[in-house]
Amino acid sequence: MHFNFRGTWSIFKREVMRAFRTAFQSILAPVLTTSLYFIVFGAAIGNRMPDLGGVEYGAFIIPGLLMLTLLGETTSNASFGIYMPRFTGTIYELLSAPVGVAETLIGFVGAAAAKSLILASIILLTARLFVDYSIAHPLWAVVYIMLVAASFSLFGFILGVWADNFEKLGIIPMLFLTPLTFLGGTFYSIDMLPEPWDTIALANPIVYLVSGLRWTFYGSSDVNFGISLGITLGFLAVCTAIIAFIFKSGWRLRA
C-alpha cells in the first residue's frame, strides 16, 4: 500500500462538506463583509476618489479585498480543520489510519484551498454587482490565487497544530494577518504613502501579495510581479518545511 488516495479523498470531501454544514459562517459571512466593503469604500467613498494608475477606485480595491478574504478564510479554515480534531480528540482516527503527511496535507490543505477558491469566485461575482472590472492576466490570476490559497492553508495548518486553545487559534489572524492586510495596500497604493512610510511598507509581506494579485488584474502594481511570485513561493516552501518537521517529529500531534 503506497499513497492512500481514498483516504485523501475522504478527508478532502469531509472538510468541504463541513464548509457547507456551516455555510453561513464559511461562505455567506465573508460575502456579506466584502459586499459592505464595496458599498462603503467602492460606492460611497470611491466616487470621491481619483483613479489610481488609471483604474477606477472601486475596481482598484477588488484584488486587495479578495486577498483580505482569501488570507483570513484560508488561514481560519485550515487551522480549524486540524485544530478541532485535536481539541475533540477525533484526531486519534487520523493518526491511527494509513495516511501520511502527503494525504493529510492534500486532504486538509487542499480542502481549505478549494473552499477559498470557491469563495474567491463568489466574491468576484459579488464585486461585479457593485463595480465594473476586467482581469488583464486571468490565467496568472487563477495560478496566483491558488498559490496564495495553498500557502496560507499550510500556514493555517501550522497554526492549528501550534494552538492549544481557541485564543491562540484566533490571535495570529486577528492581531497580525488582518492589520498587515489592511496596511498592505488593500485600499491604497503604497505610492500614496509619504516617505518614509512607503519604504517601511515594503517590510510588510502582504504588500507583495496584494500587489501581485493587483498586477494579474490590471497589469500594473507597486512591486514587480516576479518578486511577489518569488515571495509567495518562498512562503509556500517555508510552510511546507515546517509541516514536514511537524510530521517527522510528531510535534503536538503524537504523544
Partner 1 sequence: MSEPILELRGLTKVYPGGLKALDCVDLDIRKGEIFALLGPNGAGKTTLIGAVCGLVRPSGGTMRAFGYDLSTHWRQARARIGLVPQELSTDMFEPVIRAVSYSRGLFGHPPDPGRIEEILRALSLWDKRDERIMALSGGMKRRVLIAKALAHEPDLLFLDEPTAGVDVELRKGMWQLIDSMRGRGVTIILTTHYIEEAEEMADRVGVINQGRLLMVDEKEAMMKRLGRTEAHIALAEPIAAIPDGLGRFPIEIEQGGMSLCYRGGDGTGKGKAEVAELTKALTAAGIDYTGIDVRESSLEDIFVALLGEKEAA
**Residue 252 interacts with partner 1 (CB under 8 A)?**
no
**Residue 248 interacts with partner 1 (CB under 8 A)?**
no
d(C-alpha 119, C-alpha 89), whole Å:
29
In the chain, what is the straight-line distance between the N-terminal and C-terminal CA atoms, in Å? 26
Gyration radius of the chain's alpha carbons: 19
| The dihedral sign for the CA sequence 172, 176, 179, 183 | negative
Site string for partner 1, 93-122 (x = CB under 8 A): xxxxxxxx----------------------
Interface residue with partner 1, options 11, 163, 190, 201 (CB under 8 A): 11
Residue 178: burial class (beta carbons within 10 Å; 0-12, 13-18, 19+) = middle
Interface residue with partner 1, options 54, 129, 132, 254 (CB under 8 A): 254
**Residue 51 interacts with partner 1 (CB under 8 A)?**
no
Interface residue with partner 1, options 50, 89, 194, 196 (CB under 8 A): 89
**Residue 29 interacts with partner 1 (CB under 8 A)?**
no
What does the block give as the cell for 220?
500594473
**Residue 203 interacts with partner 1 (CB under 8 A)?**
no
Task: Give the footprint of partner 1 on residues 140-169 (CB under 8 A).
Answer: none
| The dihedral sign for the CA sequence 206, 18, 111, 102 | positive
Applying CB under 8 A, what is the total number of residues that bind partner 1? 28
d(C-alpha 82, C-alpha 108), whole Å:
7
Closer by beta carbon to partner 1, 139 or else 255: 255
Site residues (CB under 8 A) for partner 1? Answer: 1-2, 4-7, 9-11, 13-14, 17, 21, 88-90, 92-100, 250, 254-255
